[in-house]
Amino acid sequence: MILALVIVLALLVFLALTALGRGWLGWVVAGAIVLAWWKWKLAAAPTPFWTVAAVFGVLALVFGFAPLRRVLFGGLSLKLVGKALPTMSDTERAALEAGTVWWDAELFSGAPRWQRLLDFHVAKMTSEERLFVDEVVGELSKLCVEHEVEARGDLSERAWQLIKSKGLMGMIIPKEYGGLGFTAAANSAVIVKLSSRSVTAAVSVMVPNSLGPAELLLHYGTDEQKKFWLPRLANGSEVPCFALTEPGAGSDAASITSTGTICRGTFEGREVLGMRLDWSKRYITLAPVATVLGLAFKLRDPEHLLGQETELGITCALIPVTTPGVQIGKRHDPLGVPFMNGPTEGHGVFVPLDFIIGGPKLAGHGWRMLMQCLSAGRGVSLPALSVGAAQLAARAVGAHATIREQFGLPIGRFEGVEEKLAKVGGLTYLIDSGRKLTLGAIDAGEKPSVITAIMKCYATETMRVVINDAMDVLGGNGICLGPRNVLGSAYKAIPIGITVEGANILTRTMIVFGQGAIRCHPFVQREMRAVAERDVAAFDAAFFGHVNLVFTNAARGLLFSLGGTKLVGSPTSGAASEYYPRLERLATAFSLCADFAMATLGGQLKRKENLCGRLADALAHLYLGSAVLKRYFDGGAPDREAALMRWAAEHALERAEHALDDFLRNLPNRPAAWLVRALVLPFGRREHGPSDRRHAEVARGLLEDRPERVSLSSDIFLPPASDPGLGRLEAAQAAVLAAQPARNKLKEAAKQKKLAARGSTELLDAAVAAGILSEEERKLVEAAEIARRDAILVDAFTPDEFAARAG
């Protein structure tokens, strides 16, 4: 009995000190407690005690006293661990060093500092930006009726003119160069609104403001290049595109085969030192109408005209499309969504070295430049497009499920439909929360490369789920294309967002965790740097800090598993308070799983893509769950968002835990998997996602134009009632809701046998005659029925009309 108490006491002390980040002290104190008991128990036989005590003391001294540890084991441990660490190519190193780390590092630590997140200020749009979104983007949205754009095969001339004249191609360009100088939040708001109306318009606007000539010039261009190009890009007199993707180089962009060879040649009648370029690119947005081509290629200097190096590496340059040898004009057809996209080729194109972005001194620096720019830009455009589509879906299905009736009830009242509605609403809230938090980080000066990769990948994947579920609710109204169809264009565009800016398969399995494990971990990058520099002192500090982190998270994980979340405080009170410790428990489990993955697999981990993908899933949903809590807190914990917040948080928790469970089931080193499971999931999974009751709460918030629905879809373009798609739905819903009290009177009268079941006209006549309805109420009911029938109609075409659409 006494032994059991001693062991429990030692264990508690060890866990407590380790949980506080004092793993070695926990080891020493716990050992001292056990040794003290042993001395008391074996007082008559002191030799074994002093032998063990001496061994324990030596181990504690050697491993607890850093200078001695470094002398005895520093070189050996550096050599052994160095063999296990993954090797990195120059391109991988450039990608890893791009951008910054932010809240992702807190999650990797296993002990996120919630108050730091809550204290972070997410900047709002300025009044000027808000006015622009409301008026200019609203005006453009009116011009971009997507079924007309698709029939025409392009935006109207008037729409293009507005895009250029109002500066929509220069949102990221500072005002000093004639641009709008918008924040990331405003840039995103423009894309959200446009994408809810026209994917074609949204893509046409977002590409010049994403990774491309303007972004590269702002960060790396010479003063002369900035002064010449940026004003022209800002006012639309120059239309840019950026040519990176090739037939043999998609997600593996570093493997491009386009070449540039430094040589002397004639340009515009004068002999200059320049480059002769050859390329074949595809999938280049705006290429068919571009006037200036941003080009990525591998530059060589075989005659050493620029320096001693022959292979300079990936380089970025600006090439006017009027340069002899440049070929543009052909178009791809991306699933019938007619934004300008096509191939470009160049053969023997000679340009001066001054065409290199940043000038000759930045020759060979293109990959680093691209990675740095992508580290922020990836978090703006495609997440905004995804949120715009999701908000549109939430708005449309809420109206449709209110209007459409079957078996005498609005279809939104059926549990099967409620589940779909809840996913549409909850997932929209989830990715919109992530979008807003990420934009706040970017506008605060961060370039969180791992977080922006998360947002690109998981926002577009979530858009896929939201649109598919919305299509299930819309049924035939979602399938039949035409002016009345609200979601058909968004549905067709899903694979586009999933494919571009790094295909999601590879982003998930190779970038989010593969890059994050090194970039965001508190110690791994420091360990790798110390190994590369053979710095024993730096390696010792990083390695044993890493070991201490593992001990700390093991102790925290066990405490959480034994019910310790009840002992962890929450930085807030109210509806969201329970979710902070639950997310923290899974952050601890994630950190421990990540460390055991790296420890047991070493350099082989990056080839275990399924394992990396599951850890990426966990990290992504921990981030999205954090964003949900942050949004709810920043909004003042509004009642209208409580159900959405709970649904989104519970979904994120379930997805993160599910991913960790799958990771542990598949970790090749089974003893390690059993040990980690015993620490973090000893009783199996505890997060099961939103309940049926939670589904019903969220679903009902999307019906009947409640505040939840209005708030959730507040960023989209709302067309007038004359619009045959969403405008018609909104008008019909208003009519149905206005007539609902009168319809309730009719139902109650029929239930009490005051009215006989007859045709609708006779029933209304009888209701008015009996004084059940007033004449005004009768008109409301009639108008609602007309609007309801009209709203659920789908487009139909004569053979000639259909042939014209297909042609």
Q: What is the pLDDT of residue 581?
A: 95
Rg (the chain; Cα; Å): 31
Q: Token match 């808000």: residue? A: 130
Position 180 pLDDT exceeds 60: yes
Structure tokens at 145: 């009726």
| E strand residue ranges, 149-250 | 240-243
C-beta of residue 349 within 8 angstroms of C-beta of residue 355: no
311-320/409-410 β-pairing: unpaired
Q: Looking at the predicted structure, is the pLDDT value of residue 64 above 60?
A: no
Give the integer Cα–Cα distance in Å for 179 and 708.
36
Q: How many Cα atoms occupy the beta-carbon half-sphere of 670 within 13 Å?
A: 0
Closest CA to 253 of 170, 169, 348, 366: 366
Q: Please compute the mean of the pLDDT values over residues 510-536 and round it to a whole number.
A: 82
| Per-residue confidence (pLDDT) for residue 41, from 0 to 100 | 59
Does the pLDDT at position 602 exceed 60?
yes
d(C-alpha 620, C-alpha 638), whole Å: 25
Strand partners, 296: 316
pLDDT for 15: 53
Task: Kindly give the residue spans of alpha helices, DSSP state H, lying in 246-380.
Answer: 366-377
Mean pLDDT, rounded, for 718-737:
95
User: Strand 292-300 relative to strand 259-267: parallel, antiparallel, unpaired?
Assistant: parallel
The SS3 assignment for 576 reads: coil
CA of 212: how far to CAs of 55, 286, 314, 406, in Å? 63, 11, 15, 51
Q: Residue 603 above 60 pLDDT?
A: yes
What pLDDT sits at residue 749?
A: 87
Q: How far apart are CA 34 and CA 617, in angstroms?
A: 42
- 380 pLDDT above the threshold of 90: yes
8 A C-beta contact, residue 689 and residue 648: no
Strand (E) or helix (H) holding 2: helix 2-19
Tell me how far CA of residue 499 lies from CA of 202, 256, 284, 573, in angstroms: 16, 18, 13, 41
* DSSP secondary structure code for residue 289 in this structure: G
Query: Which sign, positive or negative, has the C-alpha torsion 147, 151, 155, 157?
Result: negative
The yes-or-no verdict on residue 500 having pLDDT over 80 is yes
Per-residue confidence (pLDDT) for residue 147, from 0 to 100: 93
Question: Mean per-residue pLDDT for 448-472?
Answer: 96
DSSP letter for each residue of 109-134: HTS--HHHHHHS--PPPPHHHHHHII
Instruction: Give the model's pLDDT for residue 248.
Output: 87
Average pLDDT over residues 419-446: 97
Point out the least confidently predicted range of 9-18, 391-400, 562-571. 9-18
Distance between CA 460 and CA 381 in Å, rounded?
11
User: From the CB of residue 246, how many other CB atoms can be counted at a distance below 10 Å?
Assistant: 21
Whether the Cβ atoms of residue 762 and residue 780 lie closer than 8 Å to each other? no
Q: 246 by DSSP, 3-state: which?
A: strand
How large is the greatest C-alpha to C-alpha distance in the chain, in angstroms?
108
The DSSP bridge partners found for residue 273 are 264
- pLDDT score of 56 more than 70: no
- Percentage helix, strand, coil, to 5, in the chain? 65, 10, 25
Q: What pLDDT shows up at residue 804? A: 84
Tell me which residue of 530, 474, 394, 423 sits closest to 75, measured CA to CA.
Answer: 530
Which residue is it, tokens 């007033």?
774
Spatial CA neighbour of 161 closest among 218, 245, 272, 239: 239
What percent of the chain is modeled with pLDDT above 70?
A: 87
Catalytic residue (one of 106, 419, 501, 650): 501
Which two structure tokens, joined as six digits, stand for 378?
A: 């990836």
Residues of the chain above pLDDT 90, percent: 68
Q: How far apart are CA 128 and CA 237, in angstroms?
A: 24
Token reading at 454: 């998360």
Run of H or E including 284 = strand 270-285
pLDDT for the residue numbered 704 = 83
Over the stretch 221-273, which tens digit does the pLDDT of each residue have? 999 999 999 999 999 999 999 999 999 887 777 789 999 999 999 999 899 99
How far, in Å, CA of 399 to CA of 390, rounded? 14
CA separation for the pair 162, 168 (Å, rounded): 8
Q: How far apart are CA 448 and CA 43, in angstroms?
A: 60
- Please, which pLDDT band fits residue 747 given cuts at 50, 70 and 90? confident
Altogether, the residues listed in the chain come to a count of 807
Write out pLDDT tens, residues 511-521. 888 888 888 88
**pLDDT at residue 45 in the model:** 47
- CA dist 72 and 357 (Å) reads 51
- Rounded distance between C-alpha atoms, residue 239 and residue 207, angstroms: 11
At 496, the amino acid letter reads I
DSSP state of 86: P
* Residue 44 or residue 226, greater confidence: 226
What average pLDDT score do residues 343-364 get? 96
Q: Under a CB-based contact definition with an 8 Å cutoff, are residues 306 and 262 in contact?
A: yes
- Beta-ladder partners of 448: 100
**Among 11-20, 250-259, 489-498, 619-628, which stretch is predicted with the lowest mean pLDDT?**
11-20
Band the pLDDT of 93: cuts 50, 70, 90. Answer: low
Q: What are phi and psi of 295, to 5 degrees?
A: -130, 135
Residue 160 identity:
W
Cβ atoms of residues 538 and 529 within 8 Å: yes
Which of 678, 588, 553 has its CA nearest to residue 21?
553
Q: Which residues contact 464 (CB under 8 A, 6 or more apart)?
A: 494, 498
Average pLDDT, the chain: 89
| Residue 287: DSSP 8-state | G
| Banded model confidence at residue 71, pLDDT cuts 50, 70, 90 | low
Q: What is the DSSP string of 654-721?
A: HHHHHHHHHHHHH-S-HHHHHHHHHHH-TT--------HHHHHHHHHHHSTT-HHHHHHTTTS----T
Q: How is residue 87 annotated by DSSP?
A: P
501 catalytic per annotation? yes
DSSP conformational letter for 72 = I
Q: Which residues contact 33 (CB under 8 A, 6 or more apart)?
A: 6, 9, 10, 13
- Residue ranges of the alpha helices (H) in 512-566? 513-519, 524-533, 536-561
Query: Is-contact 337 492, C-beta < 8 A?
Result: yes
Does 555 score more than 60 pLDDT? yes
Please report, as a single letter, which amino acid is at residue 478: G
CA 503 to chain centre: 13
Angle, in degrees to the nearest 10, between helices 184-195 and 415-443: 150
What is the per-residue pLDDT for 52? Answer: 53
What pLDDT does residue 551 have? 83
Beta strand segments in 393-525, E? 405-406, 409-410
